Protein backbone atom coordinates (compact mmCIF):
# COMPACT_ATOMS: atom_id res chain seq x y z
CA UNK A 1 0.00 0.00 0.00
CA UNK A 2 2.74 2.45 1.01
CA UNK A 3 4.75 1.82 -2.14
CA UNK A 4 1.71 2.29 -4.32
CA UNK A 5 0.90 5.60 -2.66
CA UNK A 6 4.41 6.95 -3.27
CA UNK A 7 4.15 5.85 -6.89
CA UNK A 8 0.98 7.90 -7.36
CA UNK A 9 2.66 10.94 -5.76
CA UNK A 10 5.55 10.74 -8.19
CA UNK A 11 3.15 10.36 -11.10
CA UNK A 12 1.25 13.51 -10.11
CA UNK A 13 4.49 15.43 -9.74
CA UNK A 14 5.57 14.29 -13.18
CA UNK A 15 2.33 15.54 -14.73
CA UNK A 16 2.42 18.95 -13.02
CA UNK A 17 2.54 21.77 -15.57
CA UNK A 18 5.79 23.67 -15.85
CA UNK A 19 5.54 27.31 -14.82
CA UNK A 20 5.46 30.09 -17.40
CA UNK A 21 8.92 31.15 -16.24
CA UNK A 22 10.32 27.67 -16.91
CA UNK A 23 8.76 27.58 -20.38
CA UNK A 24 9.82 31.11 -21.36
CA UNK A 25 12.72 32.02 -23.63
CA UNK A 26 14.73 34.88 -22.15
CA UNK A 27 15.89 36.19 -25.53
CA UNK A 28 12.35 36.33 -26.86
CA UNK A 29 11.28 38.17 -23.70
CA UNK A 30 14.18 40.59 -24.09
CA UNK A 31 13.30 41.42 -27.68
CA UNK A 32 9.67 42.05 -26.75
CA UNK A 33 10.58 44.19 -23.74
CA UNK A 34 13.60 46.19 -24.82
CA UNK A 35 14.13 46.40 -28.56
CA UNK A 36 12.23 48.56 -31.05
CA UNK A 37 13.85 48.18 -34.49
CA UNK A 38 10.81 49.69 -36.18
CA UNK A 39 11.52 52.90 -34.28
CA UNK A 40 15.33 52.69 -34.47
CA UNK A 41 15.54 52.37 -38.25
CA UNK A 42 13.60 55.57 -39.06
CA UNK A 43 15.75 57.43 -36.50
CA UNK A 44 18.94 56.12 -38.11
CA UNK A 45 17.75 57.18 -41.55
CA UNK A 46 16.58 60.58 -40.29
CA UNK A 47 19.96 61.31 -38.73
CA UNK A 48 21.87 60.12 -41.80
CA UNK A 49 19.74 62.13 -44.23
CA UNK A 50 20.13 65.21 -42.04
CA UNK A 51 23.92 64.94 -42.24
CA UNK A 52 24.46 63.69 -45.78
CA UNK A 53 21.23 64.17 -47.75
CA UNK A 54 20.91 60.52 -48.76
CA UNK A 55 19.78 57.22 -47.21
CA UNK A 56 22.10 54.89 -45.34
CA UNK A 57 22.47 51.43 -46.82
CA UNK A 58 25.25 49.69 -44.82
CA UNK A 59 24.71 49.18 -41.09
CA UNK A 60 26.99 47.69 -38.45
CA UNK A 61 25.29 46.64 -35.21
CA UNK A 62 27.90 46.40 -32.45
CA UNK A 63 27.11 44.27 -29.39
CA UNK A 64 24.27 42.94 -31.53
CA UNK A 65 23.10 40.09 -29.25
CA UNK A 66 20.36 38.35 -31.22
CA UNK A 67 20.90 40.73 -34.18
CA UNK A 68 17.26 41.74 -34.38
CA UNK A 69 18.09 45.20 -35.67
CA UNK A 70 20.56 43.94 -38.29
CA UNK A 71 18.02 41.45 -39.62
CA UNK A 72 15.20 43.98 -39.62
CA UNK A 73 17.46 46.50 -41.39
CA UNK A 74 17.80 44.36 -44.51
CA UNK A 75 14.02 43.88 -44.73
CA UNK A 76 13.47 47.66 -44.82
CA UNK A 77 15.08 48.09 -48.27
CA UNK A 78 16.33 45.71 -50.93
CA UNK A 79 19.74 47.45 -51.07
CA UNK A 80 20.38 47.45 -47.32
CA UNK A 81 23.19 45.32 -45.90
CA UNK A 82 24.12 44.66 -42.28
CA UNK A 83 26.89 43.29 -40.11
CA UNK A 84 26.13 42.16 -36.55
CA UNK A 85 28.99 41.60 -34.10
CA UNK A 86 28.92 40.12 -30.61
CA UNK A 87 31.39 38.37 -28.34
CA UNK A 88 28.83 35.94 -26.88
CA UNK A 89 28.05 32.92 -29.07
CA UNK A 90 24.77 32.07 -27.30
CA UNK A 91 22.64 35.06 -28.36
CA UNK A 92 24.24 34.98 -31.80
CA UNK A 93 23.17 31.35 -32.25
CA UNK A 94 19.67 32.25 -31.08
CA UNK A 95 19.58 35.14 -33.53
CA UNK A 96 20.68 32.95 -36.43
CA UNK A 97 17.81 30.57 -35.71
CA UNK A 98 15.05 33.02 -34.86
CA UNK A 99 15.91 36.22 -36.76
CA UNK A 100 18.18 35.29 -39.65
CA UNK A 101 16.73 31.93 -40.73
CA UNK A 102 13.16 33.25 -41.29
CA UNK A 103 14.39 35.88 -43.78
CA UNK A 104 14.03 35.47 -47.51
CA UNK A 105 17.22 34.06 -49.07
CA UNK A 106 18.11 37.38 -50.68
CA UNK A 107 17.65 39.19 -47.37
CA UNK A 108 19.65 36.65 -45.37
CA UNK A 109 22.51 36.92 -47.86
CA UNK A 110 22.81 40.62 -46.99
CA UNK A 111 23.41 39.93 -43.26
CA UNK A 112 26.75 38.88 -41.81
CA UNK A 113 26.79 37.78 -38.16
CA UNK A 114 30.25 37.66 -36.62
CA UNK A 115 31.37 36.32 -33.26
CA UNK A 116 34.17 38.43 -31.86
CA UNK A 117 35.28 41.60 -30.09
CA UNK A 118 33.83 44.71 -31.74
CA UNK A 119 37.24 46.35 -31.38
CA UNK A 120 38.97 43.68 -33.48
CA UNK A 121 36.54 42.93 -36.33
CA UNK A 122 37.23 44.50 -39.71
CA UNK A 123 35.18 44.41 -42.91
CA UNK A 124 33.86 46.65 -45.64
CA UNK A 125 33.27 50.23 -44.48
CA UNK A 126 29.72 51.07 -43.44
CA UNK A 127 27.48 54.13 -43.44
CA UNK A 128 26.31 53.75 -39.84
CA UNK A 129 27.61 51.91 -36.79
CA UNK A 130 25.25 51.65 -33.82
CA UNK A 131 25.85 50.64 -30.21
CA UNK A 132 22.38 50.41 -28.69
CA UNK A 133 20.88 49.23 -25.41
CA UNK A 134 23.73 51.03 -23.60
CA UNK A 135 26.01 48.10 -24.43
CA UNK A 136 29.19 50.20 -24.65
CA UNK A 137 28.74 51.08 -20.94
CA UNK A 138 30.77 47.92 -20.30
CA UNK A 139 33.88 50.02 -20.98
CA UNK A 140 34.66 51.30 -17.50
CA UNK A 141 37.35 53.94 -18.07
CA UNK A 142 38.14 56.70 -20.53
CA UNK A 143 41.03 54.97 -22.37
CA UNK A 144 38.94 51.84 -23.00
CA UNK A 145 35.90 53.76 -24.23
CA UNK A 146 37.98 56.12 -26.36
CA UNK A 147 39.65 53.09 -27.93
CA UNK A 148 36.25 51.67 -28.82
CA UNK A 149 35.16 55.00 -30.32
CA UNK A 150 38.36 55.08 -32.40
CA UNK A 151 37.65 51.57 -33.70
CA UNK A 152 34.04 52.55 -34.45
CA UNK A 153 35.34 55.62 -36.32
CA UNK A 154 37.55 53.39 -38.46
CA UNK A 155 34.56 51.15 -39.31
CA UNK A 156 32.87 54.05 -41.12
CA UNK A 157 33.15 55.21 -44.70
CA UNK A 158 34.36 58.74 -45.45
CA UNK A 159 30.87 59.96 -44.60
CA UNK A 160 29.39 58.02 -41.72
CA UNK A 161 27.69 58.09 -38.35
CA UNK A 162 28.17 56.40 -35.00
CA UNK A 163 24.89 56.38 -33.07
CA UNK A 164 24.69 55.63 -29.35
CA UNK A 165 21.79 55.54 -26.95
CA UNK A 166 22.28 56.91 -23.45
CA UNK A 167 20.22 56.91 -20.27
CA UNK A 168 20.53 59.10 -17.22
CA UNK A 169 18.89 61.50 -14.79
CA UNK A 170 18.70 61.51 -11.01
CA UNK A 171 16.67 58.29 -10.95
CA UNK A 172 19.46 56.50 -12.82
CA UNK A 173 21.80 57.15 -9.91
CA UNK A 174 19.94 55.29 -7.21
CA UNK A 175 18.96 51.74 -6.39
CA UNK A 176 15.39 50.96 -7.41
CA UNK A 177 13.18 48.62 -9.42
CA UNK A 178 10.79 49.61 -12.19
CA UNK A 179 8.17 47.18 -13.48
CA UNK A 180 6.36 47.44 -16.80
CA UNK A 181 3.66 45.21 -18.25
CA UNK A 182 4.69 44.02 -21.69
CA UNK A 183 1.75 41.83 -22.66
CA UNK A 184 -0.84 39.62 -21.00
CA UNK A 185 1.77 37.03 -20.04
CA UNK A 186 4.60 38.84 -18.29
CA UNK A 187 6.06 41.99 -16.75
CA UNK A 188 9.52 43.36 -17.43
CA UNK A 189 11.46 44.53 -14.36
CA UNK A 190 14.49 46.83 -14.57
CA UNK A 191 16.47 46.45 -11.35
CA UNK A 192 19.12 49.03 -10.51
CA UNK A 193 20.75 46.92 -7.87
CA UNK A 194 23.82 49.00 -7.09
CA UNK A 195 25.21 52.43 -7.91
CA UNK A 196 28.45 54.01 -6.69
CA UNK A 197 28.42 57.83 -6.99
CA UNK A 198 32.21 58.05 -6.74
CA UNK A 199 33.08 55.97 -9.81
CA UNK A 200 29.61 55.79 -11.43
CA UNK A 201 29.77 51.99 -11.50
CA UNK A 202 26.37 50.32 -11.64
CA UNK A 203 25.09 46.75 -11.45
CA UNK A 204 21.70 46.24 -13.06
CA UNK A 205 19.49 43.23 -13.67
CA UNK A 206 16.49 42.37 -15.82
CA UNK A 207 13.84 40.12 -14.28
CA UNK A 208 10.63 38.79 -15.80
CA UNK A 209 7.46 38.16 -13.78
CA UNK A 210 4.61 35.97 -15.05
CA UNK A 211 0.86 35.81 -14.52
CA UNK A 212 1.04 32.42 -12.80
CA UNK A 213 3.25 33.94 -10.09
CA UNK A 214 6.49 32.44 -11.38
CA UNK A 215 9.59 34.55 -11.95
CA UNK A 216 12.73 34.55 -14.07
CA UNK A 217 15.12 36.41 -11.80
CA UNK A 218 18.38 37.91 -13.06
CA UNK A 219 17.76 36.83 -16.63
CA UNK A 220 20.35 39.44 -17.64
CA UNK A 221 23.07 41.17 -15.63
CA UNK A 222 24.96 44.35 -16.51
CA UNK A 223 28.09 45.69 -14.81
CA UNK A 224 28.45 49.14 -16.28
CA UNK A 225 29.78 52.63 -15.85
CA UNK A 226 27.04 55.21 -16.13
CA UNK A 227 28.55 57.66 -18.61
CA UNK A 228 27.26 61.22 -18.96
CA UNK A 229 26.47 63.05 -22.19
CA UNK A 230 29.34 65.58 -21.86
CA UNK A 231 31.86 62.81 -21.17
CA UNK A 232 30.70 60.84 -24.20
CA UNK A 233 30.80 63.84 -26.55
CA UNK A 234 34.29 64.79 -25.36
CA UNK A 235 35.57 61.26 -25.97
CA UNK A 236 33.93 61.14 -29.40
CA UNK A 237 35.74 64.35 -30.35
CA UNK A 238 39.03 62.90 -29.07
CA UNK A 239 38.42 59.79 -31.20
CA UNK A 240 38.24 61.92 -34.35
CA UNK A 241 34.56 62.61 -34.96
CA UNK A 242 34.04 66.05 -36.46
CA UNK A 243 31.00 66.81 -34.32
CA UNK A 244 28.16 65.19 -32.40
CA UNK A 245 24.51 65.98 -31.80
CA UNK A 246 22.12 65.00 -29.05
CA UNK A 247 18.74 63.78 -30.30
CA UNK A 248 16.36 64.51 -27.43
CA UNK A 249 12.81 63.23 -27.15
CA UNK A 250 9.96 65.72 -27.50
CA UNK A 251 7.05 66.03 -25.07
CA UNK A 252 3.39 65.38 -25.70
CA UNK A 253 1.60 68.57 -24.60
CA UNK A 254 -1.53 66.73 -23.49
CA UNK A 255 0.09 64.01 -21.39
CA UNK A 256 3.41 65.59 -20.46
CA UNK A 257 5.08 62.31 -21.45
CA UNK A 258 7.60 61.61 -24.21
CA UNK A 259 6.21 61.58 -27.75
CA UNK A 260 8.79 59.19 -29.31
CA UNK A 261 10.03 61.97 -31.62
CA UNK A 262 13.77 62.60 -31.27
CA UNK A 263 15.34 65.76 -32.69
CA UNK A 264 18.67 67.59 -32.28
CA UNK A 265 18.74 69.81 -29.19
CA UNK A 266 21.36 72.08 -27.65
CA UNK A 267 19.76 72.01 -24.20
CA UNK A 268 17.01 70.11 -22.40
CA UNK A 269 14.83 70.52 -19.30
CA UNK A 270 15.63 68.72 -16.08
CA UNK A 271 14.27 65.17 -16.19
CA UNK A 272 14.72 62.55 -13.46
CA UNK A 273 14.81 59.69 -15.99
CA UNK A 274 15.62 60.07 -19.65
CA UNK A 275 16.85 58.12 -22.67
CA UNK A 276 18.43 59.95 -25.57
CA UNK A 277 20.69 59.41 -28.60
CA UNK A 278 24.10 60.80 -29.52
CA UNK A 279 24.86 60.98 -33.22
CA UNK A 280 28.58 61.40 -33.99
CA UNK A 281 29.64 62.35 -37.53
CA UNK A 282 32.66 61.36 -39.53
CA UNK A 283 33.29 63.49 -42.62
pLDDT in tens, 156-189: 999 999 999 999 999 999 999 999 999 888 999 9
pLDDT of residue 16: 64
Q: How many other β-carbons are positioned within 10 Å of the β-carbon of residue 236? A: 25
Domains and CATH numbers, the chain: 26-168+226-282 (3.40.50.150), 171-223 (no CATH)
User: Which residues, 6+ apart, have CB-to-CB distance to 283 below 8 Å?
Assistant: 158, 159, 242
User: Which residues, 6+ apart, have CB-to-CB distance to 56 below 8 Å?
Assistant: 44, 45, 48, 127, 128, 161
Asked if residue 216 lies in contact with residue 26, where contact means CB atoms within 8 angstroms, the answer is yes
Dmax (CA) for the chain in angstroms is 83
pLDDT of residue 108: 98
Positions of the chain with pLDDT lower than 70, given as ranges: 1-16
User: Which residues, 6+ apart, have CB-to-CB distance to 4 below 8 Å?
Assistant: none
Strand partners, 246: 265, 278
pLDDT of residue 9: 45
Residue 44 to residue 161: CA distance in whole angstroms: 9
Amino acid sequence: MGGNKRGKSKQKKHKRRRTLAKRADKYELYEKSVQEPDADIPLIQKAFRTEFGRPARRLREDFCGTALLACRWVTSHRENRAWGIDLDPEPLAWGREHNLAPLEPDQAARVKLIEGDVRDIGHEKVDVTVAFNFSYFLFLDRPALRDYFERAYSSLDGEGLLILDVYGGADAQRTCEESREVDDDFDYVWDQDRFDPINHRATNFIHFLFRDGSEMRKAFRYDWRLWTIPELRELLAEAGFSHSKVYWEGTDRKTGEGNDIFSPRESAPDDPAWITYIVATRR
